[in-house]
Amino acid sequence: MRNLVRYAAPLAMVWLTLVGCDTLFTEQPPAGEDFESPLDGLDPETARMFAKGDENFEHVFSVDEGVGPIFNNMSCGGCHPGDGRGTPNEALVRFSMGTDLVPELGGPQLQDRAIPGSQPETLPPGADRSLRLPPPVFGVGFIEAIPVTTILANADETDTDLDSISGRPNWVTAPDFVPPTEVGGGPGLQLGRFGRKANVSSLIQQVSEAYHQDMGVTSDFLPTENENPQAGGVAVGDDVADPEIPALTVLETVVYVRFLSPPAQGERTDQVKRGEQLFEAAACASCHVPSMKTGPHAIAALNQVDVPLYSDLLLHDMGPGLADNRPDGSADGYEWKTAPLWGTRIIEDFLNGQVFFLHDGRATSIREAIQMHGGEAQPSRDNFMNLSPQEQDDLIAFIESL
Ligand code: HEC
Ligand code: HEC
């Protein structure tokens, strides 16, 4: 018996190393233990689109299928392993010259790969980099289903309550191809919800641009190839007729991410309960709002339910240490969207035991992520630092249970 125990751990390690992160599980983990399960109660047509979208998400595009001319990765899953967050290796770089965006030099992001015949973009001399770690994609249907008024209720742009915290919305313009019937679509300013600066208002935009910008795959929504202005704007090598994928493929992928269920919360031990109280007392919950309620929704699982995402989805000035100096919509170079904390419990299962936090993955533990909070979050960070070592552990155990 003892020998079995002694050998089981090293064997498991070897097995993990051999199979890598994408195939960490030999069979589907139980519901609530992964980032890949659909919400309950999907009608047959939606379930069919979800299954197609799942295939689309993992599909690795070849040059013959239209990847490029310039791109960053060949599949959604390549950047969002297991539908969770990526590592700094998959991070995207957006760039600026100080606070100026420079479309004539490329961007909004750096496409640093190209198919044969084309030239990848390089960072223009003197440009500032904004590195963005791929966030998880589960639960975005819940984020979409929270009414604008509910999100705005937490905004306090001029800090009228004098708690030093002044969350504010990112108002952005939706591209014309987003139907006005979609959340975040239509004329005028729309509330940004997606992306690390809440710079995107709708899932159709997020997914169409992922195909177009991240993979160089054109669709009915964005039918013109992305070219490299540094190479004179000529796209060579991609002979596939545009659009390379139909609107339906994009919509299936939207359905897939929209109906991905967030993982279930872990056990509420006594330590977790103590940590939860400290999380409130240290004012973490002022930005990491524990829960917001969705509005009326045709799918029962999304209809007027509490969404325990631990974010207000608003922008906060996080101080010079975390600033990228690059504006995005109405977000300035110091501001970031409060990162949702749900799913923290199982992050490392999908990244070979590693974890990366904050917009660029610079923190490799929860403690480090907290220590790097500045700006509006400085007093809250200081509250954490002033806790006893045991209390700090309790608070971290709470976050690790989410
Ligand atoms: C090259 C890496 C890369 C690829 C490929 C990629 N993504 Fe992303 N994804 C990102 C990054 C980085 C962000 C955050 C962008 C930002 O902050 O501006 C993101 C954001 C998202 C979000 C918003 C999540 C949130 O809560 O804010 C969704 C949804 C998403 N991606 C889905 C997809 C889908 C679907 C595909 C394939 C069609 C895809 N991504 C391909 C890197 C990638
Ligand atoms: C003023 C608002 C604010 C307060 C207060 C705040 N946070 Fe944050 N938190 C943020 C923002 C914004 C980010 C994302 C920063 C980035 O992307 O660089 C973040 C990121 C995090 C992350 C990393 C999550 C990830 O997936 O990358 C953790 C963990 C975290 N906060 C925990 C805490 C804890 C614990 C406290 C209380 C001690 C706290 N935060 C207080 C705004 C806040």
Residue 248: per-residue pLDDT: 98
pLDDT single digits (tens) 308-361:
999 999 999 999 999 999 999 999 999 999 999 999 999 888 888 889 999 999
d(CA 318, CA 321): 8
**Ligand 2 atom closest to the CA of 335, numbered from 1:** 12
What whole-number percentage of the chain has pLDDT above 90? Answer: 76
CB of 253 closer than 6 A to ligand 1? yes
- Nearest ligand atom owner, CA of 206: 1
Cα–Cα distances (Å) from 34 to 57, 138, 139, 320, in that order, read 16, 10, 12, 35
Q: Which amino acid is at 239?
A: D
Total count of residues recorded for the chain: 402
- Does residue 205 register a pLDDT over 80? yes
Mean pLDDT within 18-41: 64
Confidence of residue 399 (pLDDT cuts 50, 70, 90): very high
Nearest CA to ligand 2 atom 9: 338
Nearest CA to ligand 2 atom 10: 338
Residue 160: per-residue pLDDT: 85
Residue 235: per-residue pLDDT: 65
Residue 383: per-residue pLDDT: 98
- The backbone torsions φ and ψ at residue 375, rounded to the nearest 5 degrees and listed phi first, read 55, -130
Which residues have CB under 8 Å from 357's CB, separation 6+? Answer: 339, 363, 364, 365, 366, 368, 369
Structure tokens at 246: 């139909």
d(CA 321, CA 373): 8
Q: 230: closest CA among 360, 131, 127?
A: 127
- Nearest ligand atom owner, CA of 366: 2
- Does residue 17 register a pLDDT over 90? no
End-to-end alpha carbon distance in the chain: 34
CB of 91 closer than 6 A to ligand 2? no
pLDDT single digits (tens) 237-256:
789 999 999 999 999 999 99
- Nearest ligand atom owner, CA of 360: 2
Half-sphere exposure of 300 (CA within 13 A, CB side): 4
pLDDT single digits (tens) 105-138:
888 899 999 999 899 999 999 998 999 999 999 9
CB of 323 closer than 6 A to ligand 2? no
Residue 281 alpha carbon to ligand 2 centre in Å: 15
> Which residue of 191, 212, 214 sits with most ligand 1 atoms within 8 Å of its CB, as the best mutation to test the pocket?
214
What whole-number percentage of the chain has pLDDT above 70? Answer: 92
- Does residue 273 register a pLDDT over 70? yes
- What is the pLDDT of the chain when averaged over all its residues? 90
- Does residue 16 register a pLDDT over 50? no
Mean pLDDT within 174-188: 97
Q: Which long-range contacts (CB under 8 A, 24 or more apart) does 383-391 make?
A: 383/281, 383/282, 383/283, 384/282, 384/284, 387/278, 387/282, 391/274, 391/278
